[in-house]
A and B are shown apart, each in its own frame.
Chain A
Amino acid sequence: MLRAYDLYKAYKMGKASVEVLSGVSLSAKASEFLVILGSSGSGKSTLLHLLGALDIPDKGDVEFQGKSVFQRAKKSRENYRNRDVGFVFQFYHLLPELTVLENVIIPRLIGTPALKWLSHRREAKKEALAMLDRVGLSHRVKHRPNELSGGERQRVAIARALINKPTLLLADEPTGNLDEKIGAEILDLLSEFNSAGQTIIMVTHDARVAVRAHRQVRLVGGKIEKVVPAQPSPALA
């Protein structure tokens, strides 16, 4: 479903240029839960951003459902970000002025033309409420993000990422800012969505988190180093 070919990415720092990704190739199947492991600074976020088309590679391409992501028109790439993938960030990145419900609805609002929105509004709201219910936040819909705990914020971010029913969910250390217990709850939630068929690619530096995955890959020295076959989760065992 998703394939990355030979991705290169370097950052210029003054005159020097630091190559972060040097030929990363990767693929994910539908309904798979893939974890990309790597130490801090190894370029995990960089890779995930490329997969989500938030950034452009120096070389290489990403193919989504058989179609190149970076050779598309701008408009089509925006649609890709809006509909085909959902993104969950380590730092939640909610819009502080909006309520929880509005934060969840906003991707839908962005993806719907103004005129159509008028007729679609109720339905979108219903779907957003249902989504908040699934992440266990139906009692918080009117709150602002700064009134929520970290775990609650991340749940809102997950709801937002999934509101447009994306084929692929990209999660960049979603538990990185949370304590172990709350982190585990978030991972449970992701696993739950995955069991329901949601494809997930998650990035982490924490091996304990990685065990949730069907499959793990490790990013070392700008390349995918080793592929770990899926193991049963100790928590489930």
Chain B
Amino acid sequence: MYKWFLAWRYLHTKLIAFFGIASVSLCVAMVLVVMSVMGGFLDTIRERSRGLHSEILLETSSLQGFPFYGEFQEYLADHHADTVSMTTPVIYTYGIFRVPATKYTRPARVVGMRLNEYTQLNDFKQGLHYEHYFPGTTHLGPQRMPVGGIDANQRLVLPKDLEAANARWRESETDVEKKKNYEANPYEMAIYPPYVTTPIYGERVYAFGDDGPGYVGPKNSGVIIGCDMLNERRDDGDFDRFLARGADIAVTLMPISPGGNVTGEPPVRLPLRYVDDSRTGIYEIDDLCIYVDFDMLQHKLAMDPQALADGGMSRARINQMLIGLHDGTDLETGKAVVSAAWEKFLDSLGNKPSLMDVNMLNHTSVMTWEDMQRPFIQAVEKEKVLVTLLFSLISLVAMALVGCVFYMIVEKKTRDIGILKAIGASARGVAGLFVAYALAVGICGAILGTGLGVVFVWNINDIQSFLASLNPQLRVWSPEVYSFDKIPEIVKTWDAIGVAVVAVLASVAGSIIPATIAGRIWPVKALRYE
């Protein structure tokens, strides 16, 4: 009993206790902040990765793709309709991306997709910018450039179908704030002609001409562009768009033969029309990928059936098949079903595949979205473990500090310990007093530190903005790199509890040596002199 009483008394009469509490709470706060931010980062990445593809993917590791996909789609529909909800083919290739108006060039990963199928399998649609404000107007087929005219109030007016689509959005939008923002600045304008320039830019950019709203230019296939390829991200996470919707884009491709040889002579040049930008939230994707129509791309890359020298036809190829599962189907079960189906399907082909086909099919594998993103997620996971570990090590230093603080207290309190022993306290009791004291310091520190950490994490973006306002160098979270608008602001209850408990245990552990020393103090030695 007396140990609690004295521990309590020492806690609020000894200044030195506050150093102990301060070091524990700072450590707790530090580790909690790191865990929360890294954990939030990881969760966001995982969440976004889930929406990136589809539950199951049939992939090839080789760029020339693989044949027999159509037959396999039919096979799945016939035999596994209870597991597989939907499939869609995808083509991946690389090309040179160019904006003729600004002579801006970049490398790009070109994705051929059937937009209406693709968007049913994942979250791609949620990341489309113009599709959000003008629902139903983004498509990858041939199209001309929409231009606006100026009305009597000097406001931009778009072609009727776009205005109608926009009105539909306004009716269905439930977020009042969002609507108000939009009304304040309905469509930013880019001046066109002469083509696309930069004097005016904003979040929604349309070109305008002198003849009133309408469509101009030749019909080109649409292209959706990763939002980080063209646009500049502001510190608040939104984008400044420079290029008008419908601007001309040129992409140069190099077709690859079934044998893996680059065939195109000269390279294929695709005239495209910018219809939308896509934001998946993964910077590595949004800074590299552009999306075009599947059939158009397949044809341009000569991945559709081609006449062979012997009079036969080659088979159509794709690079990836997205396979959706019915709701509630377990991911691994789904993967097992599809893998088995793929094996069985390949067996059933007999000697239909040519040698070239067999070679291509050998490079295929069935994966889940988790398998697909694992290297990326794992890298972040490792980063989280590493950073947490590093900070825990720093915390160990602080725990040593708690040990030092206690050692100093024991040294200073030697006489008092002698007195306690002289009036009958046991070695255990005295040691217990210091352990109780450490426990109290640990608990106070943990509570304080958790509070501090939570408040810090909840306001981490404000803190960062404040620091950045002092000196731009202090902006540590760069939205361009992380592709997140904000630093994660969530503290998980179990993280907080875990860190607090470990801190309490650690400070108790730190006190054990000084407590043992205190317990061993011999009463007369401590009492002899004043």
Contacts and interface: CB of A to CB of B under 8 A. Distances in A.
B416 A95 contact: yes
B358 interface: no
B419 A93 contact: yes
Contacts of B418: 93
Contacts of B481: none
Contact of B424 (A83, A94, A98): A83
Among B6, B416, B424, max chain A CB count under 10 A is at: B424
A95 B419 contact: yes
Interface in A48-79: 49, 52, 54-55, 74-75, 78-79
B522 interface: yes
Given A49-B523, A54-B523, 7 more contacts: A45-B528, A89-B527, A97-B9, A106-B2, A109-B1, A110-B423, A110-B424
B255 interface: no
A159 B523 CA distance: 20
A106 B529 CA distance: 22
Interface residues of B, number: 29
A33 interface: no
Interface of A: 45, 49, 52, 54-55, 74-75, 78-79, 81-83, 87, 89, 91, 93-98, 102, 106-107, 109-114, 117, 160
Contacts of B427: 74
Given A113-B1, A114-B1, A93 B415 contact: yes
Given A79-B424, A87-B422, A109 B5 contact: yes
Interface in B413-439: 415-416, 418-427, 429
A91 B423 contact: no
A132 to B, nearest CB: 17
B524 interface: yes
A83 B524 CA distance: 18
B139 to A, nearest CB: 77
Say whether chain B's binding surface is mostly helix, strand, loop, or mixed: helix
Contacts of A102: 9
Nearest to B529: A91
Nearest to A49: B524
Interface in B372-431: 415-416, 418-427, 429
Contacts of A94: 419
A107 B9 CA distance: 16
Given A93-B419, A117-B1, A111 B424 contact: yes
B423 A87 contact: yes
A82 B524 contact: no
Contact of B1 (A45, A82, A112): A112
Given A78-B425, A107-B423, A55 B1 contact: no
A55 B524 CA distance: 6
Given A54-B527, A110-B429, A114-B1, A81 B419 contact: no
A109 B2 contact: yes
Contacts of A79: 424
B347 interface: no
A36 B481 CA distance: 85
Interface string B1-19: 1101110011001100000
Contacts of A95: 6, 416, 419-420
Contacts of B426: 74-75, 78
The 10 closest A-B CB pairs, nearest first, are A82-B424, A114-B1, A91-B530, A109-B2, A81-B424, A55-B524, A107-B423, A54-B523, A117-B1, A97-B13
Contacts of B424: 78-79, 81-83, 107, 110-111
Contacts of B415: 93
B138 to A, nearest CB: 73
Contacts of B421: 54, 81
A67 to B, nearest CB: 17
Contact of A54 (B6, B14, B422): B422
Contacts of A75: 426
A109 B523 CA distance: 19
Contacts of A110: 2, 420, 423-425, 429
B2 A93 contact: no
A28 B4 CA distance: 38
B22 to A, nearest CB: 20
A56 B427 CA distance: 16
Contacts of B429: 110
Contacts of A49: 523-524
8 contacts: A55-B523, A83-B424, A87-B422, A96-B416, A106-B2, A106-B420, A110-B420, A110-B429
Nearest to A116: B1
Contacts of B420: 95, 106, 110
Contacts of A98: 6, 9
A110 B2 CA distance: 6
Contacts of B9: 97-98, 102
Contacts of B528: 45
Nearest to A177: B530
Contacts of A87: 422-423
A10 B13 CA distance: 40
Among B415, B418, B422, max chain A CB count under 10 A is at: B422
